[in-house]
């Protein structure tokens, strides 16, 4: 039998009250396949297929918290309301029947929304300061009362997730969406306690984490996804040094984050210059002491938005690198996105040393719920 290039990736590992069948995490990927926000039988089957073939933890596509401007399309799944939650309960049951674990990604897109987007065309985009990630004006700045309401919606979603059987939650604090818009100085120009220096800009995220932690059991995992880059702004930085990264993340860890999901475009790239050449996940683990999920073009033959000169790592090389880093305990889990869109059996094939049989990702894979 051919040996896997990354055997450590397929070791069982503790998670919350249970155990994952592998360290492979299915990354959240927006599919827009839930009519009027309600996940269907097809959605349940889509997630179940990945659990059947070796994925340890599934993070769902981003799901809308209960706020009229949370998302930008009527077929992005909701995480509130009787019908949507019943749909998600069926998804959970199907994934569990296949031996997998699953957590919802709770999402508010902030000023990434445009006026007129469905499902609530009349709802204006909202954000810390009424600014999009490119610095242009878009929508309205949130009042403190509105912030309190949104925080409570996150907490209610967390409580509902535990009630219907999910294995934890993920808070989407990355990629230039609402929580990240508070973290980033370009989009957060507030002068109250939710703006200003890094401590102030972190306050909203901390309040969301605290509210969610209070709404769920102490051993119900809270994952926090963050990124340096924003949609369309790939050189953005929340932290320019390991010291700044610690200043950013420790309040979140102390508020109740159990695992950090560190979104990068290339898993092999060092995050900071002039210091130890660790990637963002490894630095996050070092400065917080928390378990981390690393991610970034592991399972594709062409890195996300790469130019050819950056495409120096093959899938085989990345698998060997991941195994080395997991054994060195630089990170704890590895998320895979596009490869699992293209091939539900990707993890199983990698586990069995049959990566040459894996179906490679194409843009066409995004158009089907396979």
What one-character DSSP code corresponds to residue 365? Answer: G
> Are 369 and 46 contacting, i.e. CB atoms less than 8 angstroms apart?
yes
How confident is the model at residue 165, as a pLDDT?
98
Matching CATH number, 7-367, of 1.10.540.10, 3.40.50.2300, 3.20.20.70, 3.40.50.300: 3.20.20.70
> Are 31 and 61 contacting, i.e. CB atoms less than 8 angstroms apart?
yes
Mean pLDDT split into 10-residue runs, the chain, 370 residues: 89 96 98 98 98 98 98 98 98 98 98 97 98 96 98 99 98 98 98 97 98 98 98 95 98 98 94 96 98 91 50 80 96 96 96 92 88
Instruction: Using the Cα atoms of residue 62, residue 258, residue 86 and residue 337 in order, give the sign of their dihedral.
Output: positive
**What CA–CA distance (Å, rounded) separates 361 from 324?**
25
How confident is the model at residue 25, as a pLDDT?
98
Give yes or no: 370 in active site: no
How confident is the model at residue 302, as a pLDDT?
54
In the numeric block, which tokens belong to residue 155?
């907490």
Helix (H) or strand (E) holding 259: strand 259-263
Q: What residue spans define the domains of the chain?
A: 7-367
How confident is the model at residue 305, as a pLDDT?
45
Q: Is the pTM of this model over 0.95?
A: yes
How confident is the model at residue 365, as a pLDDT?
85
Residues 46, 177, 194, 361: which is the catalytic one?
177
């Amino acid at each position: 039998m051919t040996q896997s290039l990354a055997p450590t990736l397929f070791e069982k590992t503790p998670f919350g009250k249970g155990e994952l069948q592998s360290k492979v995490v299915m990354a959240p990927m927006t599919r827009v396949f839930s009519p009027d926000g309600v996940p269907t039988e097809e959605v349940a089957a889509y997630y179940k297929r990945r659990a059947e073939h070796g994925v340890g933890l599934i993070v769902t596509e981003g799901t809308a918290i209960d706020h009229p401007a949370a998302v930008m399309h009527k077929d992005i799944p909701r995480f509130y309301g009787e019908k949507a939650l019943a749909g998600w309960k069926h998804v959970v049951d199907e994934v569990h029947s296949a031996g997998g674990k699953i957590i919802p990604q709770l999402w508010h897109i902030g000023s990434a929304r445009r006026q007129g987007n469905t499902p609530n065309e009349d709802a204006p985009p909202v954000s810390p300061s009424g600014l999009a990630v490119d610095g242009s004006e878009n929508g309205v700045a949130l009042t403190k009362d509105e912030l309190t309401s949104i925080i409570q919606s996150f907490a209610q979603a967390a409580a509902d997730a535990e009630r219907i059987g999910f294995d934890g939650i993920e808070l989407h604090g990355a990629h230039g969406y609402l929580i990240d818009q508070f973290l980033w100085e370009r989009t957060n120009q507030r002068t109250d306690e939710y703006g200003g220096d890094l401590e102030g800009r972190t306050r909203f995220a901390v309040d969301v984490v605290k509210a969610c932690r209070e709404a769920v059991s102490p051993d119900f995992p809270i994952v926090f996804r963050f990124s340096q880059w924003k949609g369309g702004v790939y050189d953005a930085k929340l932290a320019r040094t390991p010291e700044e990264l610690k200043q950013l993340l420790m309040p979140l860890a102390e508020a109740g984050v159990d695992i950090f999901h560190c979104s990068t475009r290339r898993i092999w790239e060092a995050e900071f210059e002039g210091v130890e050449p660790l990637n963002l996940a490894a630095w996050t683990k070092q400065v917080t002491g928390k378990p981390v999920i690393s991610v970034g073009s592991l399972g594709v033959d062409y890195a996300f938005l790469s130019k050819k000169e950056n495409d120096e790592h093959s899938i085989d090389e990345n698998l060997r690198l991941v195994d080395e880093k997991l054994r060195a305990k630089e990170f704890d889990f590895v998320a895979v996105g596009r490869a699992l869109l293209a091939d539900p059996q990707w993890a199983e094939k990698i586990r069995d040393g049959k990566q040459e049989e894996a179906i490679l990702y194409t843009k066409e894979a995004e158009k089907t719920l396979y």
